[in-house]
Amino acid sequence: MTLTVTDADGGAYQLDAGTLPADGRNHTLTASLAGGAAYPLRLISLTVGYTLPGRSPRRPAILTVTSLSDGPGTTPVPGSALRALAPAATSPELTGTTQTTGTAGPTGFPGPSGPPAISSSAVRGTTLVVTFDSGYGLGFNGFHGRPPVPIPPTPLAGQLTLAPRSAVTALPGLATRAFLAASDARVGSVVQATIGGTVIGVRIVAAATAFPAVPAVPGAGGALVVDLGALQGVLAGDLLPPAQVTQWWLATGSASPGGSGASGAPPGLAAALPPGSVVTTTAAAAAGLLGNPLSAVPQQALLAIAVAAAVLAVTGFLVSIVADVRQRRAESALLAALGVPPRAAAGQLCLERLMLSLPAAAAGLALGAVLAELLVPAVTLTSSGAAPVPSVLIEIGWSRALLLAFAVAVLPVLAAAAAVARRPDAAAGLRAAEAA
């Protein structure tokens, strides 16, 4: 007996519950689940595997479920709680054998067979009772020797499954725009997708340019994204194995940028994963993007442009101050002749410069943040030349940016203060102004 359960994330686990003796008595079977599942759990199917008899059975088989519980000390749930699960009796091996080599009887010669079938499923009090025909037949393996001697037949397997009745005609899904373009679909369309060996209808309810875990490869055709839990229910209803999870996105709060070996992963994470697992961290992904020549050269160019812009801004302010001081010599001389102290004159000039440089530095800081949001994602590429998914996060070093903006705003003010700090010769300045 095998139980299939799903956790809160939609991941499915097939749990071996052991062997149920067919002796007509009640038996308690226990299925254990190792750590790693996200509770709560939900039972979505119950499967009983058995060997088909060689001859037609004289009476039907009966499976009785009296109760279920989720562990020792917990309140049992009556077997009638499984009434919503639809029973199905199948034998894929018998179907395949019938279509190819044919079936045999117990002696090995070609013989009749019968497929499994459900007779009834009913609730009696708190017990679920499923009556079914187990089917019969053996695999025919041919003859050998003289006279022809039949080769011993091969036993065939059958199974009884209790699985949910799927009332979903089309799963809601999200499509990438590349998928819409490749399939000539749009939001609201219902498309057919082959998942887990079955064709499932998916109704496109939204579209996205990109999606995590879907590689942005040009010409790849995009992808459809559906809820894993809903998909598991559909697969179980079609008597198909559950979809396996091959990738997990984890938020590791204990990870530091240095992490384990500067990888950003918590120590011991790799040892706790199944063999063959590959750990990819945000730190490693960022290092790969920064070290990629396709991204490194444009990023260095952006940094050089930022430094050059800051130097040009400061230089422009200084040149403007020097030219302004020369033009205002007569005004400065007149203020000095009237007895205005140099400190007051310097304060006036510094205030004027501050009213210009401070808004300019703030505007430059805002413009730099906007350009970073626009340009950095455009020049950050993967090794294949595609934009990374998820897209890069822009983290501005505000401490250094504010320090640079402060320098751009204050240096011109200090230069203005130094230029007028020396008390001018009022008479010489007035004579020079009259001569001009």
Lateral strand order in the sheet of 2-6: 12-16, 2-6, 42-51, 157-164, 85-90
The answer on 100 and 47 residing in a single domain is yes
Does some domain include residue 206? yes
- DSSP element (H, E) containing 150: strand 149-150
State how beta strands 67-68 and 77-78 pair: antiparallel
The answer on 303 and 189 residing in a single domain is no
Among 115, 144, 164, which residue terminates a domain?
164
Per-residue pLDDT band for 261 (boundaries 50, 70, 90) equals very low
* Ramachandran area for residue 248 (φ above 0: left; ψ -120 to 50: alpha; else beta): beta
- 62 phi and psi angles, rounded to 5 deg: -130, 130
Confidence (pLDDT) at 331: 64
pLDDT tens track for 48-94 = 999 999 999 989 999 999 999 887 888 899 999 999 899 999 999 99
Confidence (pLDDT) at 64: 94
What average pLDDT does the segment 251-255 reach?
60
* Domain count of the fold of the chain: 3
Confidence (pLDDT) at 154: 94
The residue among 18 and 249 whose pLDDT is bigger is: 18
* Ramachandran area for residue 425 (φ above 0: left; ψ -120 to 50: alpha; else beta): beta
Does some domain include residue 316? yes
Does some domain include residue 328? yes
The answer on 143 and 240 residing in a single domain is no
Domain range for residue 42? Answer: 2-164
Does some domain include residue 55? yes
Does some domain include residue 82? yes
Angstrom distance (rounded) from CA 212 to CA 225: 10
Mean pLDDT of the chain: 82
| CA nearest neighbour of 389 among 212, 179, 177, 251 | 212
Does some domain include residue 257? no
3-state secondary structure of 325: helix
Confidence (pLDDT) at 257: 44
The answer on 342 and 298 residing in a single domain is yes
